[in-house]
Amino acid sequence: MIEPNAFVVPGYGMATLKLKDGSEISGVVKSETDTDIQLLVDLDGAPTTIKKSGVASRTPPVSMMPPMGAVLTPTEIRDVIAYLSSLK
């Protein structure tokens, strides 16, 4: 919650691929094999399959959730954690 990029659960991080043709594509990595990467470019659409052989570089997945330490005060973060801990 405070540092969402500390660990990004597979399927929830936004990655950017720079392709060998000079173009870039960003999306959520849905799945990956030895030869292909499937990206959800539009969260409502079908995945786009990119051949790994066509990828020049790739950023590590980044969480789409903003760091709450930049939005909430320490007291507000404590209150949210206390509330979430009380749920069963």
Q: What tens digit of pLDDT does each residue of 37-69 get? A: 999 988 677 889 999 999 999 998 888 888 888
Q: How confident is the model at residue 78 (pLDDT cuts 50, 70, 90)?
A: very high
Angle at 59 (CA atoms; ends 64, 67), nearest 5 degrees: 30
CATH number, residue 58 = 2.30.30.100
Range of the domain at 21: 13-86
4 domain-assigned:
no
Encoding tokens for residue 15?
């990655």
22 in any annotated domain:
yes
pLDDT number for residue 1:
76
Kindly state whether residue 1 falls inside one of the protein's structural domains.
Answer: no
Contact 25/37 with Cβ under 8 angstroms?
Answer: no
How many domains would you assign to the chain? Answer: 1
What is the pLDDT at residue 70?
82
Does pLDDT of 87 surpass 90? yes
